Amino acid sequence: MKTSRFSREQILQASRQAEGSTVVGEICRKLGLTEATFYR
């Protein structure tokens, strides 16, 4: 099984920031992923 590139905590933090006022594009740049991957 393939291991995740991001920890569970990183994924949850990004999700919480997206629910807030942080722009999704900014979150993606910080984590180094595309917006399409974020929405998946």
Q: Is 30 part of a structural domain of the chain?
A: yes
- How many structural domains are present in the chain? 1
Residue 21 lies in a domain: yes
User: Within a domain: residue 1?
Assistant: no
- pTM (2 decimals)? 0.60
Do residues 40 and 15 lie in contact, with contact meaning Cβ atoms separated by under 8 Å? no
User: Is residue 25 assigned to a domain?
Assistant: yes
Q: Is residue 35 part of a domain?
A: yes
Higher model confidence: residue 4 or residue 25? 25
**Per-residue pLDDT at 13:** 83
Sign of the alpha-carbon dihedral angle for 21, 17, 40, 32: positive
Residue 3 in domain: no
| Residue 16 covered by a domain | yes
Residue 2 domain flag: no
User: Domain range for residue 30?
Assistant: 8-39
Q: Which residue bears the tokens 């595309």? A: 34
Q: Mean per-residue pLDDT for 8-15?
A: 83
